[in-house]
Amino acid sequence: MNPKSGRGCGSYEKTQLKTPCSCVAVNRRGKCLTMADERFSKGADDRSRRFMGCDYWIRVIAGREMPVFAATVRRVAAVTSRVWSSSGEAARVIGMDPVMTARVIRMANSAYYNPGLRSVGVLSRAVAVIGFDALRQLCRATEVVEQVCEGFRRRQIEREAARSFLGAVFAQRLAESRYEEYPEEVFTAALLSRLGQIGFWCACRGSMLAEMEAACAAGVPPDVAEKAVLGFSLKEVTLKLAIDWNLGELLQRTLRTWEHPDVRGQCITSGANLVAVLRLGWESPQVVGLLEKLAEFVNLPHESMLRLVRGASEHARRAARDAGMPWAADIPVPGGEKAPAEEAVQASEPPTVEGHGETVVETSPVLDVNEPSVHLQINLLNEIGAILTWDADRRKVLDLAFEAVLKGVGMDRVFFARLSSDGLFLEITRSAGWRGRRPDGMIIGVQGKPNVFGRVLDVAHGLWVRPDMVESGAMELEAEAKALFETPSFFLMPIVSRGVAHGLMGADRGPSGRDLDAEAFEQFKVFCYQVALAFALGGP
């Protein structure tokens, strides 16, 4: 045995670095066995494995690449192949697969992709940090559940994925109802809160698998079966993986204090508890009692709380079904397979994004109104600054600038239009916040026919278009502006670096009908300057 690690043979591998042998055991013939050795993972000495405890399973799970669902790979490949896709779209697709989510956040917090940045715990921000090229490579290199798992193991992985996604949707709805900051971070942490369970079913074999299968077949709740068969809770495995893989501070803090979490952690634990009791039926006393406690937690009437939970469950199932996830039917909804009542889900109807031959369904519910957040603006400015000093990746900077304008400045919609090389027209290549069909691909002429967009490029500074300017005749809006903005109240800012115009950004609060103000205009310009700086630095 290795005297330092307490395992293995104590010899050294035949490498130039003279590293200690990585074996975990030695068989009767004196041959070293590693974690990847099938004779060890499927060996006959399976009963002794339960006594190896939590650390053993952490090493097994961490030593293998957990598979993702085939539907995730297909949809991520489709989103990343479109030149106008945003990190938010990719995050909505990835956010239905806990394993893929864990991989992306782990990469985003690695030293290679995240030098000097603070820990990333929000999926959309993690996608912006690693970029689409890394996502495509990840899809090509990953294994899929449908190919490497079968039978009872596969069904358990699907059930755990359904529990994780539904619990994450519940957690985010609770956070939004309490007006907590960063509800998307709550969603991400809740989605990963059962990562240890998924990893266990990916690695479990032999008599251990047979005992767990027998316990589940007898109707024993999953958390109870874990402690009865393994002797410990798989939450311990999830916590260790969250620490080792740096999956976010909120997830780690919540797992450490599961019984007595803070408010944001309580949204996560309440979502998980609600998923656990729904297996007993929507009308069961356990569900009714928990809903009463949650109604008090979010300060809502009981009936409103019931509508919120039912709408969230129906939304989660519909989104999973539209995405082609094999576990969509595992999400419990009122009335079983019946179509959800329109009035119950009207407020939670997921917006869709028209893509290139497909419709991408929003899988992460958001608030209709983005309230300004100076704290979020500062955080995003720090992250943008770190990217600018590292590789000045324009796509990453633009993604973070969009997030800052929408969630930090509190705008409803934002777009970026790229100026053609001959300077004759603008083409909208990126937009966010539009419900239904987006303006991506819209061509706006800026030469020969003067319009507000051309004037902004000519004067090379920002413009705040106000209703009084149009009503007094001081400014006339052309058809292009009216097609983008329903009301004459919006911001425009040219993206200029070293005297060269690259395009412009625009934003408004038309859908919510809120007024614009000078403070929001100045904040909007700050993030447009960051995009211009990325162009000036010549990043990819």
Q: In this predicted model, what pLDDT tens digit does every residue of 358-372 receive, in sequence order?
A: 444 444 444 456 778
Domains 151-361 and 374-536 share a fold: no
Identify the CA nearest to 316 among candidates 171, 436, 460. 171
Name the average pLDDT for the chain: 78
Q: pLDDT tens digit string along 381-409? A: 888 888 888 777 888 888 889 989 998 89
Q: Which pLDDT value is given to residue 275?
A: 92
Residues in the chain: 540
- More confident: 334 or 40: 334
Give the integer Cα–Cα distance in Å for 37 and 262. 42
Delimit the domains of the chain by residue range: 70-141, 151-361, 374-536
Does 356 score more than 60 pLDDT? no
* Whole-angstrom distance, CA of residue 31 vs CA of residue 13: 13
Most confident of the following: 63-72, 220-229, 239-248: 239-248
What share of the chain has pLDDT > 70, as a percent? Answer: 81
Using a cut of 0.75, tell me whether the model's pTM lies above it: no
Find the range with the poorest average confidence among 41-45, 161-165, 202-206, 308-312. Answer: 41-45
Q: Is the pLDDT of residue 154 over 50?
A: yes
Topology (CATH level 3) of domain 151-361: Hypothetical protein af1432 (1.10.3210)
426-475 confidence digits (pLDDT tens):
888 888 888 777 788 888 887 766 678 888 888 878 889 888 877 776 66
Q: Given this model, what pLDDT does residue 350 score?
A: 40
Radius of gyration of the chain (CA): 26
How far is residue 345's CA from residue 347's CA, in Å, rounded to a whole number? 5
Average pLDDT over residues 154-165: 90
Which are the contacts of 262, defined by CB distance < 8 A and separation ≥ 6?
A: 253
At 346, the pLDDT band (50, 70, 90 cuts) reads very low
Residue-wise pLDDT tens digits, 90-105: 888 899 999 999 999 9
pLDDT number for residue 130: 86
Query: Which CATH superfamily includes the segment(s) 374-536?
Result: GAF domain (3.30.450.40)
Q: What kind and span of H or E run contains 229?
A: helix 222-229
Dihedral (C-alpha) 159, 160, 163, 168: value to the nearest 10 degrees? -140
Give the list of residues 6+ apart from residue 334 with CB closer than 8 angstroms, or none: 282, 310, 313, 314, 340, 344
Please determine, for residue 13, whether its predicted confidence score (pLDDT) is greater than 70: no
